Amino acid sequence: MDAHVKALGVIYIVLGIFTALGGLALFGILAGAGLIDDDRVAALTTGLIGTVLGGFLIVISLPNIVAGIGLLKRRAWARVLAIILGVIHLVGFPIGTAIGVYTLYVLLNDRTTPRFARA
């Protein structure tokens, strides 16, 4: 099960990085779209929307990255965090559901729990 925990940690880190990059891209696209038109109101509106949505995506990516790093280090708190995130990911069909099911399969397995108790 060590290989599964390591894979899960990498999956969470990659998912968090992709979400953060998506937030940065959304910010850049929306902020840039307002600047193209030379309309001050449009630039402010799209800049604000891009900042809020991009910032939101960056903030929600952080728990995934933290959980992934913690899983790689076999921290008990990371197991709990990843289980919570796995349940949340279940609603994101189809990729989130697959990640959520895999998370629950790996981290609720009787052979995995003792590996985190020793850490």
Report yes or no on 61 lying in a domain: yes
- Confidence at residue 118, expressed as pLDDT on a 0 to 100 scale: 60
Higher pLDDT, 35 or 24: 24
72 domain residue, yes or no: yes
Q: Quick check: is 15 in a domain?
A: yes
How far is it, in rounded angstroms, from Cα 9 to Cα 41? 43
Domain that residue 13 falls in: 2-114
Give the model's pLDDT for residue 40: 86
Going from the C-alpha of 114 to that of each of 22, 108, 118, the distances in angstroms are 36, 11, 6
| 119 domain-assigned | no
Rounded distance, CA 84 to CA 90, Å? 10
Q: What is the value of pTM for the model shown?
A: 0.90
User: DSSP letters along 32-90, please?
Assistant: HHHHHTT-HHHHHHHHHHHHHHHHHHHHHHHHHHHHHHHHHTT-HHHHHHHHHHHHHHT
In this prediction, residue 37 carries a pLDDT of 75
Query: What number of CA atoms fall less than 13 Å from residue 28's CA on the CB side?
Result: 6
Q: Report the number of distinct structural domains present in the chain.
A: 1
**Of 114 and 108, more confident:** 108
pLDDT at residue 16, as a whole number? 98
pLDDT digits over 45-99, tens only? Answer: 998 999 999 999 999 999 999 999 999 999 999 999 999 999 999 999 999 999 9
pLDDT of residue 119: 47
Give a yes or no: residue 103 inside a domain.
yes
Over residues 37-48, the mean pLDDT reads 86
